[in-house]
């Protein structure tokens, strides 16, 4: 009987030890798995943060490049028109001095501007105050009334530029239009400059 009791106690102890060990191992394994999962999750979050930071930096770089490029385009356009205006004013001074007929001089200037090109086949065109294109390199547009013509986004093209030129003397305007020799509209930046002596304004442009 003593041996039987001793055997039962030994069995109970062994069972308790096994159960405790198994429980400890189960709980430890669960904690290890949770710790590993949390570590992996934290690592994934850190990687995601780094990726988002990199994307944000690259996006900011693109914005800076676009802004810098836009400012460069604006300066280039203004320089082109300033040079053309200086040449036109020389002719205008000769008209005022009676050395040239005004109608003949104006016609010659407008025709010469139609053949002027710069950059990537960019050009200058001229409108009167009624939004009629009195000088344009595209024969399909030359002489046309553009007071009601809109771009692909429904935005009036010429009248706003006439308003900018007459109100401020000069300025910039953006709209969508097609390049020479193309039928696909793209975004276009224009610089407009008033020439009040002849009731016209000039526009130079580049495509963005």
Provide the CATH number for the domain around residue 178. 3.30.450.20
- Mean pLDDT within 29-48: 67
- Alpha-helical regions (H) of the chain: 2-96, 102-114, 158-168
**Residues with Cβ < 8 Å from 196, sequence gap 6 or more?**
none
How many C-beta neighbours within 10 Å does residue 170 have? 16
Tell me whether residue 42 is in a domain. Answer: no
Q: Is the pLDDT of residue 60 over 80?
A: no
Tell me whether residue 200 is in a domain. Answer: yes
Are 129 and 162 in contact, with CB atoms under 8 Å apart? yes
At 163, give phi and psi (nearest 5°).
Answer: -65, -45
Q: Is the pLDDT of residue 38 over 50?
A: yes
Domain range for 90:
70-207
Q: Which of 156, 202, 199, 147 is nearest to 177 (CA)?
A: 156
Model confidence pLDDT, tens digit, residues 76-129: 888 888 888 888 888 888 888 988 888 888 889 999 999 988 888 888 999 988
Tell me whether residue 102 is in a domain. Answer: yes
- Max intra-chain CA distance, the chain: 143
Cα angle 161, 165, 166 (rounded to 5 degrees) comes to 115
Tell me whether residue 20 is in a domain. Answer: no
**Exposed, middle or buried: residue 194 (CB in 10 Å: 0-12, 13-18, 19+)?**
buried
d(CA 197, CA 18): 106
d(CA 124, CA 135): 8
Tell me whether residue 124 is in a domain. Answer: yes
Tell me whether residue 63 is in a domain. Answer: no
pLDDT score at 7: 62
Tell me whether residue 87 is in a domain. Answer: yes
Plot region of 131 (φ>0 → left; ψ -120 to 50 → alpha; else → beta): left
- Predicted TM-score (pTM) of this structure: 0.66
Looking at the structure of the chain, the number of domains it has is: 1
Tell me whether residue 60 is in a domain. Answer: no
Please report which confidence band the pLDDT of residue 149 belongs to, taking 50, 70 and 90 as the band edges: very high
């Amino acid at each position: 009987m003593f041996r039987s009791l001793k055997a039962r106690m030994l069995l109970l102890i062994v069972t308790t030890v096994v159960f405790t060990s198994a429980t400890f191992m189960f709980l430890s394994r669960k904690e290890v798995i949770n710790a590993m999962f949390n570590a992996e999750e934290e690592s994934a979050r850190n990687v995601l943060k780094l990726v988002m930071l990199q994307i944000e930096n690259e996006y900011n770089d693109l914005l800076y490049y676009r802004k810098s490029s836009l400012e460069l385009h604006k300066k280039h356009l203004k320089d082109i028109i300033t040079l053309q205006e200086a040449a036109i004013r020389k002719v205008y001074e000769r008209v005022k001095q009676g050395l040239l007929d005004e109608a003949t001089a104006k016609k010659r200037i407008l025709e010469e501007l139609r053949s002027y090109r710069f950059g990537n086949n960019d050009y200058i065109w001229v409108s009167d105050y009624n939004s009629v294109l009195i000088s344009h390199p595209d024969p399909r547009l030359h002489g046309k009334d553009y007071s009601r013509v809109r771009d692909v986004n429904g935005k009036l093209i010429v009248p706003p530029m006439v308003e900018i030129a007459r109100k401020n003397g000069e300025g910039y305007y953006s709209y969508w239009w097609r390049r020479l020799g193309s039928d696909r509209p793209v975004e276009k930046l224009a610089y407009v400059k008033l020439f009040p002596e002849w009731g016209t304004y000039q526009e130079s442009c580049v495509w963005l």
